[in-house]
Chains A and B, each alone.
Chain A
Amino acid sequence: MSEYILKLENITKSFDDLTVLKHISLEVEKGEFITFLGPSGCGKTTTLRIISGLLEPDSGSVILHGQDVTALPPEKRNVNTVFQSYALFPHMTVEANVGYGLKLKKVPKAEISKRVSEILELVQLAGFEKRMPDELSGGQQQRVAIARALANGPEVLLLDEPLGALDLQLRRQMQLELKRLQKKLGITFIYITHDQEEAINMSDRIVVMDKGIFQQVGTPDEVYNHPKNEFVARFVGNANIIPMEDGTSLAIRTENILLDVPGGIPAVVMEKSFAGGLMRIMLRTAEGTEVVATRHGIDYAAEVGQMLTFGWEPQNAVAVEKE
Chain B
Amino acid sequence: MKSEKQKKTKYGASALLLVPMYLTALVLVLGPLLYMVYLSLMSRGEVWGFINDVTLDNYVQLMEPLYLNTFFASLKLALLSTALIILLGYPFGYFMARLSSDWKRRMMLLIMLPFWTSSLIRLYGWIIVFRSNGTLDQLLMFLGVTDSPLRLLYTYPAVVVGMIYALLPFMILAVYSSAEKMDWRLVDAARDLGASRLKAFTSITLPLTMPGLLSGIILTFIPSMGLFFIADILGGNKIVLVGSMIQDLMTRGRNLPLEAAMAVVLMAMTSALLWLYRKISRTSKLEGLV
Contacts and interface: CB of A to CB of B under 8 A. Distances in A.
Nearest to A86: B189
A90 interface: yes
Nearest to A84: B185
Given A90-B208, A91-B208, A83 B194 contact: no
25 contacts: A52-B192, A54-B188, A54-B191, A54-B192, A73-B196, A74-B188, A74-B191, A75-B191, A75-B192, A75-B193, A75-B194, A75-B196, A79-B192, A81-B188, A83-B189, A87-B185, A87-B189, A89-B186, A90-B208, A100-B203, A101-B194, A104-B199, A149-B192, A152-B193, A152-B194
Interface in A99-145: 100-101, 104-105
Interface string B178-195: 000001011011111111
Interface string A40-61: 0000000000001110000000
Interface of A: 52-54, 73-75, 79-81, 83, 85, 87-91, 100-101, 104-105, 148-149, 152
B208 A74 contact: no
B194 A105 contact: yes
A85 B185 CA distance: 9
B188 A87 contact: yes
Interface in B1-32: none
A87 B185 CA distance: 6
A87 B186 contact: yes
Q: Which of A73, A79, A89, A148 has the most CB of B within 10 A?
A: A89
Contacts of A73: 191, 196
A52 B190 CA distance: 12
Contacts of A83: 185, 188-189
Measured as residues with beta carbon below 8 angstroms from the partner, the interface class of chain B is 10 to 19
Across the A-B interface, the 6 shortest Cβ-Cβ residue pairs = A87-B189, A101-B193, A74-B191, A104-B194, A87-B185, A75-B194
A87 B195 CA distance: 15
Interface in B191-228: 191-196, 199, 203-204, 207-208
Contacts of A90: 186, 208
Contacts of B188: 54, 74, 81, 83, 87
Contacts of A54: 188, 191-192
Contacts of B208: 90-91
Q: Which of A52, A83, A87 has the most CB of B within 10 A?
A: A87
* Residue among B186, B189, B196 with max Cβ neighbours from chain A (10 Å): B189
Nearest to B207: A91
Q: How would you classify the secondary structure of chain B's contact residues: helix, strand, loop or mixed?
A: helix
Contacts of A104: 193-195, 199
B214 to A, nearest CB: 14
Contacts of A75: 191-196
A74 B192 contact: yes
A262 B134 CA distance: 101
A175 to B, nearest CB: 23
A263 B192 CA distance: 61
A54 B186 CA distance: 12
Contacts of B199: 104
B189 A89 contact: yes
Nearest to A85: B185
Contacts of B191: 53-54, 73-75
Contact of B204 (A74, A80, A89, A149): A89
A83 B188 CA distance: 9
Contacts of A85: 183, 185
Contacts of A105: 194
A53 B189 CA distance: 11
Contacts of A52: 192
Contacts of A81: 188-189, 192
A91 B183 CA distance: 12
A219 to B, nearest CB: 29
Contacts of B186: 87, 89-90
Contacts of B196: 73, 75
Contacts of A148: 193
Contact of A100 (B183, B185, B190, B207): B190
A123 to B, nearest CB: 16
Given A54-B188, A81-B189, A104-B199, A87 B183 contact: yes
A81 B191 CA distance: 10
B193 to A, nearest CB: 4
Contacts of A152: 193-194
Nearest to A52: B192
A91 B202 CA distance: 13
Given A53-B192, A81-B189, A104-B199, 7 more contacts: A75-B192, A75-B195, A81-B192, A83-B185, A104-B195, A149-B193, A152-B193
A89 B192 CA distance: 13
A87 B183 CA distance: 8
B192 to A, nearest CB: 5
A100 B193 contact: yes
B57 to A, nearest CB: 49
Given A90-B208, A91-B207, A104-B199, A80 B192 contact: yes
A104 B199 CA distance: 9
A81 B195 CA distance: 13
B202 to A, nearest CB: 11
B121 to A, nearest CB: 43
Contacts of B195: 75, 100, 104
Contacts of B190: 89, 100
